[in-house]
Amino acid sequence: MQAKNIRSRIDNSNIIGLGAIAKKEKLKDPLVINSTTGMLYDDEGKLFTYSSVDKVINLLTPEEKYAYFPTGGTKLFKDEIKKWVFGTSYELIKEYSDVIPTPGGTGALANTFANFLNDNDYALLPNYMWTNYVQILDDSNKLYKTYDLFLNNSFNLNDLKNKAKEILKLKKRVLIVLNDPAQNPTGYTLKPNEIDDLVDALNDLKNDGEVILLLDAAYIDYADSYDKTRLNLSKYLRLDDEILLIIAFSASKSFGLYGLRVGAQIILSKNKDVLYDSYESCVYSARSKWSNTSSLGISLVSKILNDEKLKNDYLKELDESRLMLKRRSDLFKDLVKKYHLNILPYDAGFFSSIPLDNPKLVYENLKKKKLHLIPFDTSLRITLSSITCDEIKRMVEILKDEI
Ligand SMILES: Cc1ncc(COP(=O)(O)O)c(C=O)c1O
């Protein structure tokens, strides 16, 4: 009996594989620039860990760390995640939302695709995207189409609307994926007025069929201040009752807990029956795929967010890490301007991208100069979160000669 090995060809960007090559090369030669991996590193090139998070591990009881936790989440985790993600809008959403703990944001995305699309239904993805979406969809027999993310360096709402309409004509249901703020791989963040227009457009689209918005908010804590990102998020509460909103939250990114595998799938609907059915269906899938999410991860996040002192310590560190990343972004933006490098619209966050016709060839050439980036079909991704300011300077020197 053969496994479905043809599927392994789907991951054509091979982010993990190329990251492993870069890591190996850097171990041999410290001058290698490993700008591949979607984790935050400090200014000395070491993995950035939140000491305010790490120290809480020792405050947890054995039960909190190691016992099986309910698949559908504890009340504490659900409440704290809702408060964290929605901030001051918590009161507005607490009654009409539910939360399922998931193995990272990936679990939340996979559970959403599996439960809200039938086989051979379409998800609508941005043309510049985290390519794992394609693999996750393929794994559960779902199809996809793409919308152009940009027109004249702004969000291309028209293309999103047109593509969504095409899908609604075919299937009467569309699941739209938006990765905002600090999109992977471009770093683009929708402006407040772009979110307003998007919400209006979705409210209009629902007249053509069922509309589900999957907001992948993996980088919500690395774009702007807490208050600003939450203010932008609250704009989605203007979505009509018939539209289902799912938010994928990643504690990998927000708390630096990449390997612990914790995240959340937040489901919002004002229709009680829809909310109940959606939640139960997603819990059923979770139980049959990963059974329950790491209790250590759930307990850590719950405890930090539920304790004023621990939360304040964490908030301070989060501000510091955001500032560290911003220093790199500012430097990168200055150099891009100085050398007239052509990048896709970039605002903030872990990644930026260069549009190219031949990214794979350029990737090979850069590798020879000890610079490791990630080539996609029509662009090359730079990871600012994993390199130091000194490496950014060296990287741009190499890029300006090669591109
Ligand atoms: C856009 C985006 N969404 C979701 C994820 C999921 O991350 P995790 O499953 O570790 O939370 C990632 C990870 O790189 C990502 O870049």
Please determine, for residue 130, whether its predicted confidence score (pLDDT) is greater than 80: yes
What's the Rg (C-alpha) of the chain? 21
Please determine, for residue 301, whether its predicted confidence score (pLDDT) is greater than 60: yes
Atom of ligand 1 nearest to the CA of 262: 11
With a pLDDT cut of 90, the percent of the chain lying above it is 95
- pLDDT single digits (tens) 347-379: 999 999 999 999 999 999 999 999 999 999 999
C-alpha to C-alpha distance for 149 and 146, rounded to whole angstroms? 9
- pLDDT single digits (tens) 8-59: 655 556 788 899 999 999 999 999 999 999 999 999 999 999 999 999 999 9
**Domain for residue 56, yes or no?**
no
**Domain for residue 57, yes or no?**
no
How far apart are the CA of 377 and the centre of ligand 1, in A? Answer: 20
For the chain, the average pLDDT equals 95
Do 178 and 76 fall within a single domain? yes
- Residues spanned by the domain of 45: 5-50+311-402
How far apart are the CA of 218 and the centre of ligand 1, in A? Answer: 6
**Domain for residue 62, yes or no?**
no
Last residue of a domain, one of 307, 322, 343: 307
382: closest CA among 339, 336, 337, 338? 336
Do 99 and 226 fall within a single domain? yes
Do 330 and 224 fall within a single domain? no
User: What mean pLDDT comes out for the span 190-197?
Assistant: 98
How far apart are the CA of 215 and the centre of ligand 1, in A? Answer: 12
Do 24 and 87 fall within a single domain? no
Do 344 and 222 fall within a single domain? no
In testing the pocket of ligand 1, which one of 106, 188, 265 has its CB within 8 Å of the most ligand atoms? 106
Residue 211: both structure tokens together: 């509309």
Whichever domain contains 217, its CATH number is 3.40.640.10
Q: Note the Cα 2 to chain centre separation in Å.
A: 33
Atom of ligand 1 nearest to the CA of 350: 16
**Residue nearest atom 14 in ligand 1 by C-alpha distance:** 38
149: closest CA among 114, 120, 189? 189
| Residue 259: how many other CB atoms lie within 10 Å | 11
**Domain for residue 63, yes or no?**
no
Q: Spell out the long-range contacts of 273-276 with Cβ–Cβ below 8 A and sequence spacing 24 or more.
A: 274/244, 275/96, 275/97, 275/98
Please determine, for residue 329, whether its predicted confidence score (pLDDT) is greater than 70: yes
Whichever domain contains 379, its CATH number is 3.90.1150.10
90: closest CA among 284, 230, 222? 230
Please determine, for residue 1, whether its predicted confidence score (pLDDT) is greater than 70: no
Do 192 and 279 fall within a single domain? yes
How far apart are the CA of 340 and the centre of ligand 1, in A? Answer: 30
Do 193 and 315 fall within a single domain? no
Q: Give the pLDDT score at 10.
A: 56
How far apart are the CA of 381 and the centre of ligand 1, in A? Answer: 15
Q: Give the pLDDT score at 143.
A: 96
- pLDDT single digits (tens) 239-266: 999 999 999 999 999 999 999 999 999 9
Please determine, for residue 3, whether its predicted confidence score (pLDDT) is greater than 90: no
Number of H helices, E strands in the chain: 16, 14
Do 229 and 373 fall within a single domain? no
Query: Locate tokens 């693999």: which residue?
Result: 135
- Report residues whose beta carbon is within 6 angstroms of any ligand 1 atom: 38, 104-106, 130, 179, 184, 216, 218, 250, 252, 258, 263
For the chain, how many structural domains are there in total?
Answer: 2
Last residue of a domain, one of 268, 288, 307: 307
In testing the pocket of ligand 1, which one of 113, 130, 137 has its CB within 8 Å of the most ligand atoms? 130
Do 225 and 347 fall within a single domain? no
**Domain for residue 135, yes or no?**
yes
C-alpha to C-alpha distance for 158 and 198, rounded to whole angstroms? 10
- Sign of the dihedral through C-alpha 121, 127, 132, 133: negative
Spell out the residues 6+ positions from residue 7 whose beta carbon is closer than 8 angstroms to its own. Answer: 138, 139
pTM above 0.95, yes or no: yes
How far apart are the CA of 277 and the centre of ligand 1, in A? Answer: 26
303: closest CA among 9, 34, 65, 1? 65
Do 142 and 207 fall within a single domain? yes
Do 238 and 94 fall within a single domain? yes
**Domain for residue 319, yes or no?**
yes
Please determine, for residue 104, whether its predicted confidence score (pLDDT) is greater than 90: yes
Exposed/middle/buried for residue 254 (C-beta within 10 Å: 0-12, 13-18, 19+): buried
**Domain for residue 55, yes or no?**
no
Last residue of a domain, one of 251, 273, 307: 307
How far apart are the CA of 338 and the centre of ligand 1, in A? Answer: 32
**Domain for residue 29, yes or no?**
yes
SS3 (DSSP) at 61 = coil
Distances (CA, A) of 232 to 190, 273, 395: 9, 27, 33
Please determine, for residue 124, whether its predicted confidence score (pLDDT) is greater than 80: yes
Q: Give the pLDDT score at 14.
A: 79
Q: Give the pLDDT score at 8.
A: 61
Spell out the residues 6+ positions from residue 380 whose beta carbon is closer than 8 angstroms to its own. Answer: 353, 354, 356, 359, 362, 363, 373, 374
Do 22 and 130 fall within a single domain? no
